[in-house]
Every structure is written in C-alpha cells, then in structure tokens.
Amino acid sequence: MLFSPRRCLRPISGRIHNLILSSFLSSTIANKFLKEFWITCSLYGFQDSLLFQPNEPDTSRTVVMSPDSMGLPSETVTIETPDNEKLHGYLIKQQHRYSEKDTMIFFHGNAGNIGHRLQNAQILYRSCDINILLFDYRGYGKSTSTPSEMGLYTDAQAVYDFVRKREDLNQEKIFLFGRSLGGAVAFHLASELGQMNSVPPLSCVMVENTFTSIPEMAKRLFQVFVLDYVPNWCYKNVFSSLSKIRHIKVPVLFLSGGQDELVPTIMMQKLFEECKSQKKYFHNFPDGMHNTTWLASDYSQIIRKFLIDCNNERSRHSSSSDHKGIDIQSFLQQDS
C-alpha cells in the first residue's frame, strides 16, 4: 500500500502532542500549577511537623515547670491510654473543699507543654475557684510517643475516663476547655460524648481561638489555589470541628480574640452559628491576639460567670427550646 492515513497521521499527531505539551509546560499557568502542586504534596509530607510543635521552645520535651513553682497545690498524675502510652499531667486542686468545685480539663495548643500554661492556670485557679487538670498530649512534654490526630483523640478520651473515675471530684461539674488546637480536641470529645448521651453529661465546653478545620486553615495560611480542589481525605490531619459541633448538646462558651493573627474570627463565628446547643455564648475580646486573649482584664470574669450560670441552670433542671445564641454582655448584666 502506497498510502496509509493512519501511518501518516501518527507522526503528525505525535509532533502536535509534543508541541502542545512543550507549550503548556513553558507557560506561566503550567509553572504556577506545577509549583503549587509540589507545595501541596510537600504540605502533606510535612503536615505533622507544621501542625504539631512539641519541641517549641527547644527544651519543651525535657523541662516542664511544676505548679509548686507558682504556689499551686497539685498532684502529679500519669494517665495510661488504651494503646499503652503514658500521659504526664498535673491535677491542681483547690485547698478547701476541692471535691465540691468545678473541674476543668485543659486541652492546650500545638506547641510547648503544660508548664507553659501555669500562669494562665494560676489566674483561673484564683479567679474562678476551680480545679484544673493540665496534661500533655502524646509526644508533648514528658508524655510518651509522637502526636497525631487520632492519637490526640485517644488521649482526650483517656483523660476524660481518668477524671470520671476520681471519686474525690464532683462528677456533676466536669467541663472541657480547649485553646486553638486544643479546641478541636475538646470539640471531638464533646461530640463523641454527646452522641453517646453520656451520664452524667459534661457541665459545659469552652473554646478559645480555635479553627473550623485544618483544610480551611491550610487554605488561609498558604493561599495556594490548588488547595481549593483538594478533598479532605487527602489531608493527613483534618480536625473537622465544624462537622462535629452540631452533636454537642451541653452549654458552649466561645472566647474569640478580635486581633487573632492566626485563626480568623470568622472561623469562631462559623462554629458558633453551627453549634446547636440550647445555651451558647460568644464573647469577643477586641484586643486579643492568638496567644494573648487570656490576658484580657475581663477574661476570668467571663469564664466564672458562665460557670455560675451553667451550675444554676442545672440546679433548676430547666432547659430552653430556643437554639438562638445569647449575647454574653446581656448575660453578664444579670449578675452584675
């Protein structure tokens, strides 16, 4: 056969393909796409080191300040998890009639250890008249292993179970507090307990400057357009608080720093709006930054009065059918 269209078109189509590919790869759009795709892949590989920072500052894994140094009476505790990790913690107890007081389980942020939270704990201890359980997640402080999303969830449940087994603590007054990453861990635990209808229920949940999810935070921090098309299952860690908060039935207090340079206030607002609790409060600290909101002059007052309200509500055995949020300012005026 002298003429074969297939044989003639094959080299032509091959050359066209190569020209198109060459043009594509040399284009600005392609370079941007490949660059951002590489960044996206790198983010997955380094996600743990970006999210979990137990070695910041440098001595965080070896030096953990004791509550004694702050004049806080405490008990050093070791909590074993179902997967045989050991969590190091401090149970800071009120000196007088501590068994009648509220007990806060404190979930800290993504860096440092519980020793770095003692100044905050001291303020809450003295202002709110509460017991505080501080503990380090796996891989933090003197706790064993390395951190992971599922690992932190396991730790949270183990710590909660530990507190529930303490006969010397008032089981009607156990509540969760989570800051930043700790807020996501607290929301997960509260969501699980809400779906199980645990008895007795948590007294309440408090979160400060926490996020809706890690994928949403990644989009904000790295501003890579490829991330808009990456499904959640591609993320190593998700911490999807927005999808979990609807299962939380107990009162929730949202503490938001108006100048938070890391977690945008709108994320806290979204969480507040999605929350289906019959009693929820949102308070904005206008000058609060991500790591300094707790230094606001009225910070402890907000927490104290929220606890009082929760305890009074429980004692009245009454509940509202209205899911509408309540302005914390009007709430504060009730007890001023």
Which residues carry out catalysis? 180, 260, 290
Q: Which residue has the tokens 């269209």?
A: 5
Task: At 68, list the tokens.
Answer: 């004694």
Which residue from 334, 319, 314 is spatially nearest to 279, judged by alpha carbons?
Answer: 319
Distance CA 290, CA 302 (A): 18
Distance CA 189, CA 265 (A): 23
The count of residues in the chain is: 336
Distance CA 204, CA 172 (A): 10
Strands in 81-194 per DSSP E: 86-92, 103-107, 131-135, 174-179
Task: At 324, list the tokens.
Answer: 């509408």
The answer to whether 241 touches 263, Cβ cutoff 8 Å, is no
